[in-house]
Amino acid sequence: MTNHLYYGDNLEVLRQSIASDSVDLIYLDPPFNSNASYNVLFKGPQGSDSAAQIEAFDDTWHWTDSAEEAYGEVMRSGNGAAAEMLRAMRSFLGENDMMAYLAMMAVRLLELHRVLKPTGSLYLHCDPTASHYLKILLDAVFGPVNYRSEIIWRRSGSHNKISKQYGPIHDTILFYAKSEKAFFQPKTSPHNLVYIDGEFRFNDSRGRYRLNEIMGPERRAGESGAVWNGYDPTPRNRHWAIPDSIKQYLSRKERESGIIGQLDALLEKDLIVLSSSGRPKYKQYPTEGVPYQDVWAFQPGTQGTLYNSAAAIDEDVKWLSNEEEKLGYPTQKPVGLLERILTSSSSPGDIVLDPFCGCGTTVHAAEKLDRQWIGIDVTHLAIGLIEKRLRDAFPKVQFVTHGVPQDIAGARDLANRGRADKNYYFEFEKWALSLINAQPGNLSKKGADRGIDGNIYFGKTDRAVVSVKAGYNVGVSMIRELDSVVKRENAAIGIFLTLTEPTKPMIAEAAAAGQFEMADFAPVPRLQIVTIEEAMQLRDRALKLPMMRGDNFKRAREEKRDRDQGQLEL
């Protein structure tokens, strides 16, 4: 199994490329906001919303022919529960944005259920806007019996803005299993120090402990109710019940010696304490922690309150405030959140799927934890970001990207299709911009772009404008046009990104435009010609920019994978 990254509509990718019963774990975070289209919003140099708002789906979540088609597919799917539930929702909601979202999600959830192994699980991340509707859909697709948990994740700090509601600081993560065979082994969170200090007041060579009952309620026959060491549990309506936590101290032979033999061995090992009345109790030592509960809420200021840990409460799933981890993608989730999900519901070597991959946090966590992975996204911008993120964080990472040109011949093929179909032209443009981490400059839509196909911000307020050319007939006039755009926009630099090799007059014209200078940095050409082939090989290193600005996608810090760390320990 090779790791796979797919560009395209996840519904088509699931149907064409993902086999039934092949995936161990699915995490999806399908964005929806009742007041906005599903989009990625970038900030301008001063932090304000810029014009570079890229729609992830051209039709967005509106009731269109696509939504009607998705609804019809669910009706014909053969899943009667899902069909009836979606029909009831349409009767209640009508044909609006929410109903379009639910129809598009329902048909995808059916496919996600298909590709899951019987031992697999699904985690759907959403906000309270649509979580109640999605839970009903999941009940219909997976069956109510396979519902496991509704996890509440604290996604931000407090909100002090005046509103008619309590501060919205949480998201919902709906956890469903495909069957009762689903793998689930949650890790633990550290105990609270107040609990340990209050309950575990004794110490011995093994550490802190408290005394607890070694008898269970109700009478039992046989050894479970026999007299031991002069103490009879039967008159007290109880029986001997040795917990597994202290059986670990017994040898295999001792564990096979019966209840009375085990009690004798435990007493000899000083794991049972007899009171003055002869009533036995066992020494209970603190466990590693509390198994994950269904509220994941980082608590600021709680460092030092946990037993055997310097972290704050739920610090591993803290909202994204670490500047080293932030890549500049507005819907990015913290890696720790995904690590908790992956370690609870998958094992090393398992296959993890994220059909709404965004900036790639799921596949990042999967690579780090030695899982195999499949990521899907419908924007070239996201695919380019994920490729860069993975190669930055894991220099030895191996994966195959599908649906985007892999060489210059593929780039020419995409451009040629664009000459016959304008939709493909804009796909070529978005893909080309993703190579150099440029933000599309005209909403990636048809219409007058005023010579600006993309933008790259750098320094404090500076900008480079990008012009993309997929045609064969490039000439010096295009360089002059770009120069005019740079001056008109008061930009610092112009980037001419071309599929065709530039002519000598073009190179000379660009050189004649002079250089851009920024304090503390070497001068760079004011007009730069970059070929698609260069961009494919060097990515953003094909550009000459003084300094990338903080709002652009940043370099991911290099990580150590679990298997790499294991090799180092050897």
Which strands form 207-213's sheet, in the order they lie side by side? Answer: 202-204, 207-213, 280-284, 272-274
- The residue type found at 169 is I
Is the domain of 418 the same as that of 536? Answer: yes
pLDDT for res 285? 95
Chain mean pLDDT for the chain? 88
Helix (H) or strand (E) holding 432: helix 422-435
* C-alpha–C-alpha distance, residues 423 and 430, integer Å: 11
Model-level pTM? 0.84
Is the domain of 485 the same as that of 350? Answer: no
Is the domain of 320 the same as that of 380? Answer: yes
pLDDT for res 472? 81
Is the domain of 439 the same as that of 476? Answer: yes
* C-alpha–C-alpha distance, residues 413 and 15, integer Å: 24
**Strand-pair category, 372-377 with 3-7:** parallel
Is the domain of 321 the same as that of 384? Answer: yes
Q: Please state at what angle helix 504-512 crosses helix 476-488, rounded to 10 degrees.
A: 20
Q: How many CB atoms lie within 10 A of CB 438?
A: 28
Q: How far is CA 557 from the centre of its chain?
A: 17
Is the domain of 301 the same as that of 376? Answer: yes
Closest to 372 measured CA to CA, from 362, 382, 380: 362
Decide if 107 is inside a domain.
no
pLDDT for res 32? 67
* C-alpha–C-alpha distance, residues 379 and 57, integer Å: 8
* C-alpha–C-alpha distance, residues 432 and 499, integer Å: 9
* C-alpha–C-alpha distance, residues 45 and 130, integer Å: 33
Is the domain of 327 the same as that of 352? Answer: yes
Decide if 383 is inside a domain.
yes
Helix (H) or strand (E) holding 399: strand 399-402
Longest dimension (CA), the chain: 105
Decide if 509 is inside a domain.
yes
* C-alpha–C-alpha distance, residues 345 and 365, integer Å: 13
Is the domain of 337 the same as that of 416? Answer: no
Where do we find the tokens 């010096």? 476
From 355, 380, 402, give the residue that closes a domain.
Answer: 402
b/e 164-183 (16+ beta carbons within 10 angstroms → b): eeeeeebbbbbbbbbeeebb
From 284, 307, 329, give the residue that closes a domain.
Answer: 284
Q: Please state at what angle helix 80-93 crosses helix 97-115, rounded to 10 degrees.
A: 170
- The residue type found at 568 is L
Decide if 106 is inside a domain.
no
pLDDT for res 56? 43
* C-alpha–C-alpha distance, residues 387 and 373, integer Å: 13
Sign of CA dihedral 375, 379, 384, 388: negative
Decide if 70 is inside a domain.
no
Is the domain of 492 the same as that of 425? Answer: yes
- Domain count of the fold of the chain: 3
* C-alpha–C-alpha distance, residues 355 and 29, integer Å: 8
Q: What is the domain range of residue 326?
A: 3-53+116-188+292-402
From 379, 402, 425, give the residue that closes a domain.
Answer: 402
* C-alpha–C-alpha distance, residues 23 and 1, integer Å: 11
Decide if 34 is inside a domain.
yes
Q: What is the pLDDT of residues 205-215, one digit of tens each?
A: 999 999 999 99
Write out the two tokens for 170.
Answer: 């949480």
Decide if 89 is inside a domain.
no
pLDDT for res 570? 26
Decide if 103 is inside a domain.
no
Is the domain of 175 the same as that of 217? Answer: no
Helix residue spans in 200-298 (DSSP H): 244-247, 252-255, 258-268
* Three-state SS at 31: coil
% helix, strand, coil for the chain, step of 5: 35, 25, 40
CATH classification at residue 25: 3.40.50.150
Give CA angle at 177 (174, 183), nearest 5°. Answer: 120
pLDDT for res 442? 60
* Three-state SS at 563: helix
Is the domain of 269 the same as that of 320? Answer: no
Is the domain of 268 the same as that of 387? Answer: no
pLDDT for res 53? 38
pLDDT for res 444? 45
CATH classification at residue 480: 3.40.91.30
List, run by run, the mean pLDDT of 10-residue segments along the chain (570 residues).
90 96 96 48 44 42 87 96 96 92 96 98 93 96 98 88 81 97 96 96 95 94 94 95 93 94 96 92 94 96 94 94 70 92 97 94 96 92 87 93 89 83 74 87 57 86 92 92 95 96 96 92 94 92 74 68 53
CB 348 within 8 A of CB 368: no
